[in-house]
Structure 1
């Protein structure tokens, strides 16, 4: 049973791990920005970069899912 779903379990585990990693990075960045009293523009740039990194992983997952459903990859 486990062998049949090994790839799905691996994919879900990877996605959950990446989500937790991005949440922890967000908390760490927030803490550093708060302690150093960074201006609002600097905070915006830091959060934007973190969001774009996470959005890239989400876009990759959606593209990969689309390609696999159409038989490309």
Structure 2
């Protein structure tokens, strides 16, 4: 059973690890923004860039899922 689903398990764990890294990056950025007294516009810019990176990662995953499902 494990050897049959190894690729799916590996993909799932990789995606969860990357999601965890995004969370840690977000927490680090939040801490830096608080300690640095960054203006509101700068905070919005930083969070927008972080969100777009995460959205790109999610879009890649969804596209890959649908392409592989059609094969």
- Alignment TM-score, normalising by the size of structure 1: 0.94
Deviations 1:11-69 (A, max 9, x none): 11011101100000000000000000000100000011011111111000000011111
Query: What is the aligned-residue RMSD (CA, Å)?
Result: 0.6
Q: Which consecutive aligned stretches of 4+ in structure 1 deviate over 3 angstroms post-superposition?
A: none
- Alignment TM-score, normalising by the size of structure 2: 0.96
Aligned residue number for residue 55 of structure 2: 55
Give unpaired runs (5+ residues) of structure 1.
none
Aligned residue number for residue 37 of structure 2: 37
Q: Which has the higher contact order (CA 8 A, sep 6+)?
A: 2
Give unpaired runs (5+ residues) of structure 2.
none
Give the total of aligned pairs. Answer: 71
